[in-house]
Amino acid sequence: MVVTGAVNYKNVDVLVNIYNQIPDPKVVIAVGACASTGGIFHSCYNVIGGVDQVIPVDIYVPGCCPRPEAILDGIMAALPILEDKKKKNIKGKEVKLKRNEAPVPGDSLGTPR
């Protein structure tokens, strides 16, 4: 799975649903600063920060916006991880997000503003 943008409260349920539907072994790539940390939108009221606060991430591709070569390097780095998970038969954990477990609006520490 390749995540390329900031994650907000409105699309957390959709992201978790898509992640849970991916067959095992699962590999997640966060492309760019927005997907990794929230980027320039990190202080917005509706952005939860990085995608790793919702689903587990295997590869982070830096940049705002990331160069095409960096994205290809991230995909190439994900291939050995995928092969390793396939050989070891590692199953991705199912993410269950209850309504009361959703990230709290605020900063990265979860404290409301």
- Looking at the 3D structure of the chain, how many domains does it have? 1
Task: List the beta bridge partners of residue 60.
Answer: 30
**CATH at residue 39:** 3.40.50.12280
Q: What's this model's pTM, rounded to 2 decimal places?
A: 0.74
Does some domain include residue 106? no
Q: Residue 75 sits in which domain range?
A: 2-101
Amino acid at 93: K
Does some domain include residue 113? no
Does some domain include residue 9? yes
Does some domain include residue 65? yes
| Strand-by-strand arrangement of the 2-3 sheet | 2-3, 29-31, 59-61
The tens digit of pLDDT for each residue in 26-81 reads 899 999 888 888 888 888 888 888 888 888 899 999 888 889 999 999 999 989 98
Whole-number pLDDT of residue 9: 87
The confidence band for 112, taking pLDDT boundaries of 50, 70 and 90, is: very low
